[in-house]
Every structure is written in structure tokens, then in C-alpha cells.
Amino acid sequence: MDKLPVLSAKELLKILSKLGYYPIRQRGSHITLSSSLNYPQITVPFHKEIAKGTLRAIIREIGISREEFMKLIES
């Protein structure tokens, strides 16, 4: 299992947009994203670095494996 890279919020938002997520609102330093496929809404902290635990939770929430997430980073 690959280690998760350190990502900024901008990088994470680009990756999530590949999966069909788009921002619907922002409150303070957190952006809420939704998908047209009726997946649950997710909240991303808009920070320079996303904490590893937060990144793991977001990956789990969107329902993909770490390997699939790593492929999205590379593409």
C-alpha cells in the first residue's frame, strides 16, 4: 500500500473535480463539494497542506481505494 502524498487543498480539489465533484459553498476555510451522482457531500479544508488523517477520511467518504486515488494523482 502506497503512502499518501502531502497535498494542498488546490491539488485535492483538482483531483476531486476529475470524479465529478464541484464546490457548492464555502464557509471560512472549508469548502463543501457535491456531485451530480448523488454521492454524499464532502468538506475539504482549504489549507496549504491537508492532514493525512483528513485525506484518508475524504478518500473513504468518496468510496474509492487508495490505489485508485493514487492513479488519479498521477493522471
Residue type at 72 in one-letter notation:
L
**10-residue block means of pLDDT along the chain (75 residues)?**
85 93 94 85 94 94 91 88
Strand order of the sheet with strand 42-45?
21-27, 30-35, 42-45
Residue 2's pLDDT is what?
A: 63
Residue 38's pLDDT is what?
A: 72
Residue 1's pLDDT is what?
A: 55
Q: Which of 47, 49, 17 is nearest to 34 (CA)?
A: 17
Domains and CATH numbers, the chain: 9-74 (3.30.920.30)
- Give the number of other Cβ atoms within 10 Å of residue 50's Cβ: 21
Q: Tell me the C-alpha distance between 43 and 30, whole Å.
A: 6
Cell of 4: 499518501
